[in-house]
Amino acid sequence: MGKAALVSGASRGIGNAVAKKLAEAGYDLYLTCRQSEERLTEVKKELERNYSIRCVAYTCNMGDYEAVRSLFKEIPDLDVLVNNAGISYVGLLSEMEVSEWQEIMDTNLNSVFYTCKLAIPLMLKKKSGRIVNISSVWGNVGASMEAAYSASKGGVNSLTKALAKELAPSHICVNAVACGVIDTDMNRCFDEEEREALREEIPADRFGRPEEVAELVMQIIDAPEYMTGQIITMDGGWC
């Protein structure tokens, strides 16, 4: 039986780049997105055509437990889980609606709990597994005007460390990548002047590429089992 991986938020950006790297390595894939069904279907066809792997695409709100539970009923076996689904909110906390806060927490943090809860039994059967959570430098240090996003990613970091301790005896590794500014659609909310100011703050003098994050994710997946519970920052020296 081949290796299988689930990647959330795989229609574009980091999730798409990770899916391609996993397909290159011969993994059969379960891919999700929240809205871009047509785009995700294109990704599925491309990966199957180029890498001769089996790929299944699902439109799923990863912040909805019942939706995620239904998704996992279709997954009989899993070796790797990459939690990438995420959304951002830029604005003052005092002006944020409670519903907006809840959506950030559901999508960025609760979704990680849901997928881990359901993936763990599949990995325990094999006494092996790799869980990689895509986090953010703002989960490490916090960001003004992004309090909810920072809180959700800080939660992901803490969950990563705690769950790694729970699962280490079962040979299941849990790690996270704390990304800096990666050139994805999430950062298209900034205008050119803002993007230029942001770039100037980064010692590497550029935004990161999704493919670079994907390379690091694959290195984590292939790392020795003794590496677990780590929050690995990838930000061009920014924070």
List residues with catalytic annotation.
Answer: 149
Would you give the end-to-end CA distance of the chain in angstroms? Answer: 42
Q: In the structure encoding, which two tokens stand for residue 190, read together?
A: 């900034």
DSSP, collapsed to helix, strand or coil, labels residue 77 as coil
Radius of gyration of the chain (CA): 17
Query: Would you say 9 and 63 are in contact if contact means Cβ atoms under 8 Å apart?
Result: no
Instruction: Report DSSP letters for 85-143, one per residue.
Output: ------S-GGG--HHHHHHHHIIIIIHHHHHHHHHHHHHHTTT-EEEEEEEETHHHH--
Tokens of 41: 């279907």
Instruction: Kindly give the pairing relationship between strand 80-83 and strand 4-7.
Output: parallel
| Measured distance CA(109)–CA(24) in Å, rounded | 29
Can you tell me the distance from the alpha carbon of 140 to that of 154, in angstroms, rounded to the nearest whole number? 6
**CB-CB contact of 12 with 185 (8 Å):** yes
